[in-house]
Amino acid sequence: MRIHGQRPRVIIDVDGVLRDFIGSLVRVYRREYPGHQVAAVDSRKLEDFFPIGEKIYPFMDEMFAREILEEAPAYPGAIEALQRWEKEFEIIIATTQPLAGRGPTLVWLGRHDIPSNIIHITADKYRLAGLALLDDFVDNLEKFAATGRLAVCMDRPWNKHWKGPRVHTVDEFFGYLTEYLRESDFDEKVLLA
């Protein structure tokens, strides 16, 4: 897989792929509002699932951002898969964060020993160099796919409408990618772009 000593670059999202943000949000919410019923989150319109409605956004992006983000669990096996595959691929982390989410996200990535040399905090993942993106947010996948590159969806209840490639674990993503590269006739410039 190495080309001229370099590994192909792949872009990996954080929330919904490596970090269980929603699980952490629900945990903190239930503690703050013990009487409230939280519905199962199956879209990005979070106001539909939390009884405080639109106030969920300042709740998660400002008031409790640090706790929700720093204390969120990793999805089982996700970090271990990155650690296994980093020999084959250059892992680039790309995450969109509110202002108050930047520091806690860097803390989380460090705490979990993420095997990456390059970490981007950006909403414009499609502008980054890399041959493939693994993400759970359909807008990001669509924009990335529109650049002619491989966009792979991490299966979550909120992205069922994505029609392109879909995986259920980080490990499965790298297996899919390896197969994809084997079958494709890439030139090096694309691989390393």
Tokens (6 digits) for 152: 């792979």
Is residue 13 a contact residue for Mg ion (CB under 5 A)?
yes
Task: Name 131's Cβ contacts closer than 8 Å, sequence gap at least 6.
Answer: 8, 9, 10, 149, 150, 181, 186, 190, 191, 192, 193
Q: Considering the complex, what minimum distance in angstroms separates the CB of residue 96 from Mg ion?
A: 7
Residues 101-140 that bind Mg ion (CB under 5 A): 136-137
Nearer to Mg ion, 15 or 20 (CB): 15
Nearer to Mg ion, 14 or 191 (CB): 14
Is residue 20 a contact residue for Mg ion (CB under 5 A)?
no
Q: Find the Cα–Cα–Cα–Cα dihedral 13, 117, 143, 96, rounded to 10°.
A: 50
Residues 64-93 that bind Mg ion (CB under 5 A): none
Q: Considering the complex, what minimum distance in angstroms separates the CB of residue 118 from Mg ion?
A: 17
Nearer to Mg ion, 7 or 172 (CB): 172
Q: Considering the complex, what minimum distance in angstroms separates the CB of residue 97 from Mg ion?
A: 10
Is residue 16 a contact residue for Mg ion (CB under 5 A)?
yes
Nearer to Mg ion, 2 or 77 (CB): 77
Q: Considering the complex, what minimum distance in angstroms separates the CB of residue 136 from Mg ion?
A: 4
Position with the least CB separation from Mg ion:
16
- Interface with Mg ion (CB under 5 A), residue from 8, 15, 68, 156: 15
Q: Considering the complex, what minimum distance in angstroms separates the CB of residue 44 from Mg ion?
A: 10
Site for Mg ion, rule CB under 5 A: 13, 15-16, 136-137
